Structure 1
């Protein structure tokens, strides 16, 4: 399939991750060089049960893609600690900055995936998860498939990512030459919403800031309520 055209995307992105306050960015204040930063990530992984995944993924990032600064840990986590299954446009080799251009879309996306995981677990409901909102700007060229749900329906399957994943692999890991920066696409979880999948950590502009906290609460039947938390502070 011929790749759709590229489009400049200069937007604020919203990413929601499961977390409890306060967030800790272990590497945000490091001033080491790139080689030392890479070693720091590997040393940190000694206490992480996914050390083998991290050790496999880190070499896939060029030295120039190891970012540092306020929020750098949150960027790197998106690439190094991603789900081994992959996502809509990624496989298990390396994660990406999956985010939305609207916080409402980010909520809809994460509620969908969290609910699906809970339904696959015995005794998954009732349950609750606290989420924090990460806000970061991007200004880069992305493959644009917005408004093409009919022309490229295979990329917008609700739960079958086999074709969209193959499409993304071809963009990111082409047989020759450098890969694309990522994809901008319509959300299938929220009408009118827009998502991005950015393949390069360096394209996520620092600082990454923390905004609101949310709590997703599922009752025994699996119905979910989303609450914005107020007065969240360090204990």
Structure 2
């Protein structure tokens, strides 16, 4: 596999936007102090907070953003970086298993929209109800380094469109690359023709995180969705 030098700014990661919604727990209590107590209780089951305290079998707490920036704990993006590696889904994703997360991003917002839109449609398909709205906000980050690149291997098993085949192959590849000391991987988007993606295996290479724009994805009865800037 070829190695590509990267010195790129503003790669796009989309995450669900929740700032426009009221805190979920606030409606259960009468005072701000009571809300703080509930938030502390909720934190006891937060994968991110637990990872920051003690790590996990697959994630050393010293890798996380707060540890390497102890003198500036308020830096923007710290919790987003940590959450990307602490939270996982059952079975994992294309280049991470269920034990350790990763930071997925792309070189343009259209590619990121195609990626999150596919996965949201897939989730709605499980219940066969395509009636939904989802707002996403962009996180922009910079990356510098030399990384393995699947751009010249579009037929690699890890890039199979079917997650049942692509994910196991991708997770195996990612494990081999991490064991060899690689901290990330470039690869062509599976969901957007000509799109280019990057996955960071290591929280330490995610630099200069800042907010970008936001978009609303809407489904009205079919797996197809519309996109509107917010």
**TM score, norm. by length of structure 2:** 0.78
Equivalent residues of 1:97, 1:199 under 8 A apart: yes
Aligned residues: 199
Matches within 5 A, 1:64-143: 64-68=62-66, 69-122=75-128, 124-143=129-148
CA-atom RMSD in angstroms: 2.6
Matches within 5 A, 1:154-193: 154-159=157-162, 160=165, 161-172=167-178, 174=179, 179-193=181-195
Over 3 Å off, 4+ runs = 42-45, 50-64
CA gap 1:53/1:111 in 2 versus in 1, 3 angstroms: farther
Which consecutive unaligned segments of at least 5 residues does structure 1 have?
24-41, 230-235
Equivalent residues of 1:57, 1:94 under 8 A apart: no
More helix by share: 2
- 2:122 and 2:221 map into 1 onto residues whose CA distance is 14
**TM score, norm. by length of structure 1:** 0.76
Which residue, 13, 17, 20 being the options, matches 1:19? 17
CA gap 1:214/1:83 in 2 versus in 1, 3 angstroms: same
Which residue, 144, 154, 174 being the options, matches 1:149? 154
Equivalent residues of 1:64, 1:202 under 8 A apart: no
Matches within 5 A, 1:174-213: 174=179, 179-206=181-208, 208-213=209-214
Which consecutive unaligned segments of at least 5 residues does structure 2 have?
22-39, 67-74
Q: For 2:44, what is the secondary structure of its paired residue? A: helix
